[in-house]
């Protein structure tokens, strides 16, 4: 019989049970546990192997919590950098869009000016003095694809001002100046011709060839 404490204080029928003579021994729970602990793990009488073993979850929870904290710290450190890069990209995109819009507006103005020149030239030499008509035709032919006119002024005394900007590769400034002179737009001296390779801007001023000097 296995009992926890004194059997006579626990079981009201202890006297009758003891009198039957069928009771061989009384074993306490502590003694039973001590004896069971001495049974080898692989012995068939070891009943503890049939029950689930308790696992130490504290270490697992501690490792999992530490991993979560490390991941959260890394994410918190990475977020400001990502936000800064996104803002920098947004600012760069805005600046590029503004530059492209300004460039498109400039090209539109140049296209309108070229269309005006072509329409005037198409009306025939009777609408303009012969020299100017030929000069405008020569100017239209002299402007290469890599160059865009931004301004053209011809005064009554045949003084002219041409401003342009380089928009493409393989631009030859000397060749363009010679083409202008062949068309009658010969830059005056000493400051009639200006070309800045860094900005790509060209300015030519003078008086149409064959006119008053």
The residue segments making up the domain with residue 160 are 123-208
Task: Kindly list the distances between the CA atom of residue 192 and the CA atoms of 36, 176, 177, 188, 205, in Å, as whole numbers in the listed order.
Answer: 114, 14, 11, 4, 5
Q: CA angle at residue 125 from 121 to 128, to 5 degrees?
A: 80
The answer to whether residues 121 and 133 touch, using CB atoms and an 8 Å cutoff, is: yes
pLDDT at 200: 92
Structure-block tokens of residue 44: 């068939």
112 in any annotated domain: no
Q: What is the pLDDT of residue 115?
A: 77
Peptide bond between residue 182 and the one before it cis (omega within 30 degrees of 0): no
Answer whether residue 164 is part of any domain: yes
CATH number of the domain to which 149 belongs: 3.30.980
Does the predicted TM-score (pTM) go above 0.85?
no
Number of compact structural domains in the chain: 1
| DSSP letters for 65-130 | HHHHHHHHHHHHHHHHHHHHHHHHHHHHHHHHHHHHHHHHHHHHHHHHHHHHHHHHHHT-TTSS-H
Does 130 reside within a domain? yes
Tokens of 125: 């030499």
Pairing mode, strands 27-28 and 2-3: parallel
List, run by run, the mean pLDDT of 10-residue segments along the chain (213 residues): 63 70 62 68 62 62 79 76 82 87 84 74 50 82 90 89 92 92 89 93 87 38
Report pLDDT for 28: 62
pLDDT at residue 42, rounded to an integer: 64
On whether residue 203 sits in a domain, the answer given is: yes
């Amino acid at each position: 019989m296995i009992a926890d404490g004194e059997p006579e204080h626990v079981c009201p029928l202890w006297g009758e049970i003891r009198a039957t003579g069928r009771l061989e021994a009384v074993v306490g729970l502590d003694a039973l546990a001590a004896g069971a602990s001495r049974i080898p793990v692989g012995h068939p009488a070891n009943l503890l192997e049939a029950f689930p073993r308790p696992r130490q979850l504290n270490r697992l929870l501690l490792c999992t919590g530490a991993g979560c904290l490390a991941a959260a710290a890394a994410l918190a450190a990475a977020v400001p950098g990502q936000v800064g890069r996104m803002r920098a990209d947004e600012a760069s995109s805005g600046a590029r869009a503004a530059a492209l819009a300004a460039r498109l507006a400039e090209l539109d103005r140049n296209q309108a000016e070229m269309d005006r020149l072509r329409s005037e030239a198409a009306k025939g030499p009777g609408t303009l003095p012969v020299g100017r008509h030929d000069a405008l035709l020569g100017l239209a032919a002299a402007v290469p694809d890599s160059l865009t006119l931004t301004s053209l002024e011809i005064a009554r005394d045949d003084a002219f001002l041409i401003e342009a900007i380089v928009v493409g590769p393989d631009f030859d400034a000397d060749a363009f100046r010679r083409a202008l002179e062949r068309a009658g737009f010969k830059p005056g001296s000493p400051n009639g011709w200006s070309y800045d390779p860094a900005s790509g801007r060209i300015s030519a001023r003078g008086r149409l060839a064959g006119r008053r000097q």
